[in-house]
Amino acid sequence: MTLREAGLQILQAAIKAGDVGPLVRRALESMDLSRHRRILVVGAGKASGAMAHALEGVLGDRISDGLVVVKDGYTAPTQKIKLAEAGHPIPDERGLRAANEILALARSAQADDLLIVLISGGGSALTPCPAPPITLEEKQALTRLLLAAGATINELNAVRKHCSLIKGGRLAQAASPAPVLALIVSDVIGDPLDVIASGPTAPDQTTYADALAILDRFGLRAKAPGVVVEHLERGARGEIPETHKADDPVFRHVQNRVIGGNSLVVEAAVREAEALGLRVSFVTRALRGEAREVAKEFCGLAAAVTPPACLIAGGETTVTVKGKGVGGRCQEFALAAALGIQGMEDVLVLAAGTDGTDGPTDAAGALADGNTITKATRRNLDAHASLEANDSYRFFSDLGDLITTGPTNTALLDLYLLLAGPLPSE
């Protein structure tokens, strides 16, 4: 087995461990739902379609109505729960329509009903519901600015939830006084309930002032749509009600349950690597920061391992977009890693998103080894220029080193591997 084969096998085992079906079924095992007159289901996210399918397998005809919005291609067979596809990471008109339908369904819930909310990564972009007078186009412009600036998911969602009618606990408020059960698959480091999909059913720890501070941190207050800035400024002055906080009575009837996170992925990767006979070093489940800088630090650990070995980390990096290329955080990580391990024999780095997509591309990530730069040079590819242009997708596409999984129907952050061989012989 080659290092490449071993890395892809470890990734596949990690993605398989993130199958949301068993997670949903396990979460419902000890729950008595018989006292509820109706069970309504709403949700959003890359894994929410698969979650809806699993939920129907448990509850069947007990479900009265439902709507879940997913990223294009992330569908699953459902009967009672309608699935809608929408744009991600930039919200679109389809997401706006779906968000309004979800809000209406939540508002229809009565005190003797139960609203089940299926939440997973991507849910925030998939349910744009801008607070008037903000328009969808202005929400799209805001999202593009924050993504290009390299904002973390925490920062991005702190701003988005303060421009929304559904985020920051507002979906729970819409359903009140009906009880709410949120089943959550986390794609955020540390599993903060108010950040995952912008916390539609969770108390919000951020404020309008925090949202403005984030715009200022990235120098975006003057670049953001004026109506958005004015809305946030009015909120900071107390002229607009804040998002719902922990002491709000609306949360007395809300259960937020994280049923899966990045630990599932990392633990499965460790088990698979050990089964392959590798010495495993677990680095962290909170890898974060600028992708190219974090990659340098990660590759620097290669000198300390004794082959055959595997370094494993989970988390999510960011990219500050300055060039006009195409790529994603994992691909940019791999490109920087290729430069970091240049010339090293029997060393491979893999970086991939467990959701199957990395940035606005159809790839989950990429692979790089000690010969990547040499191969690129032979094909007249300039790694340094590609990195500066944020053009990692074309670089790895030309080399045949993209990782393409297709929709995985899960979303449990990213997996980062460094393998050092040679591998043990069979």
Nearest Cα to Cα of residue 175 among 100, 245, 97, 108: 108
Q: What 3 state SS string does the chain have?
A: CCHHHHHHHHHHHHHHHCCHHHHHHHHHCCCCCCCCCCEEEEEECCCHHHHHHHHHHHHHHHEEEEEEEEECCCCCCCCCCEEEEECCCCCCHHHHHHHHHHHHHHHCCCCCCEEEEEECCCHHHHCCCECCCCCHHHHHHHHHHHHHCCCCHHHHHHHHHHHECCCCCHHHHHHCCCCEEEEEECCCCCCCCCCHHHCCCCCCCCCHHHHHHHHHHCCCCCCCCHHHHHHHHHHHCCCCCCCCCCCCHHHHHEEEEEEECHHHHHHHHHHHHHHCCCEEEEEEEEECCEHHHHHHHHHHHHHHCCCCEEEEEEECCECCCCCCCCCCHHHHHHHHHHHHCCCCCCEEEEEEECCCCCCCCCCCEEEEECCHHHHHHHCCCCHHHHHHCCCHHHHHHHHCCEECCCCCCCCCCEEEEEEECCCCCC
Q: What is the pLDDT of residues 165-194, one digit of tens each?
A: 999 999 999 999 999 999 999 999 999 999
* Count of CB atoms situated within 10 Å of the CB of 210: 16
Which residue, chain included where needed, has tokens 């974060």? 288
Confidence of residue 208 (pLDDT cuts 50, 70, 90): very high
Angle separating helix axes 136-148 and 153-160, nearest 10 degrees = 160
Edge-to-edge strand order for the sheet containing 402-403?
A: 279-287, 309-315, 414-420, 347-353, 365-369, 402-403
pLDDT > 90: percent of the chain: 96
When pLDDT is averaged across residues 398-405 and rounded to a whole number, the result is: 98
91 token code pair: 């919200």
Q: What is the pLDDT of residues 305-324, one digit of tens each?
A: 999 999 999 999 999 999 99
When pLDDT is averaged across residues 16-38 and rounded to a whole number, the result is: 93
**pLDDT of 300 higher than 60:** yes
Confidence of residue 424 (pLDDT cuts 50, 70, 90): confident
Q: What region, left, alpha or beta, does residue 400 occupy, with left being phi > 0 and alpha being psi -120 to 50 degrees?
A: left
Give the chain's radius of gyration (CA, Å): 22
Which residue, chain included where needed, has tokens 């990392």? 266
User: What pLDDT shows up at residue 30?
Assistant: 83
| 418 and 311 Cβ atoms separated by less than 8 Å | yes
Q: What is the CATH number of domain 20-260?
A: 3.40.50.10180
When pLDDT is averaged across residues 12-41 and rounded to a whole number, the result is: 94
Confidence of residue 26 (pLDDT cuts 50, 70, 90): very high
Q: What are the two backbone dihedrals, phi and then psi, of residue 417, each rounded to the nearest 5 degrees?
A: -130, 145
Q: What is the pLDDT of residues 122-153, one digit of tens each?
A: 999 999 999 999 999 999 999 999 999 999 99
Q: What is the pLDDT of residues 320-379, one digit of tens each?
A: 999 999 999 999 999 999 999 999 999 999 999 999 999 999 999 999 999 999 999 999
User: What pLDDT shows up at residue 168?
Assistant: 97
Angle separating helix axes 262-275 and 3-17, nearest 10 degrees = 140
Nearest Cα to Cα of residue 54 among 19, 83, 86, 16: 19
**pLDDT of 47 higher than 90:** yes
Which residue type, as a one-letter code, is found at position 175?
A: A
| 136 and 100 Cβ atoms separated by less than 8 Å | no
Confidence of residue 277 (pLDDT cuts 50, 70, 90): very high
**pLDDT of 425 higher than 80:** no
**pLDDT of 268 higher than 90:** yes
* Count of CB atoms situated within 10 Å of the CB of 185: 30
Confidence of residue 32 (pLDDT cuts 50, 70, 90): confident
Cα 389 from Cα 406, distance rounded (Å) = 26
User: What pLDDT shows up at residue 303?
Assistant: 86
Homologous superfamily of 263-420: MOFRL domain (3.40.1480.10)
**β-sheet bridge partners, residue 309:** 279, 420
**pLDDT of 426 higher than 60:** no
**pLDDT of 287 higher than 90:** yes
Domain range list for the chain: 20-260, 263-420
| 7 and 350 Cβ atoms separated by less than 8 Å | yes
Burial of 359 (0-12, 13-18, 19+ CB in 10 A): buried
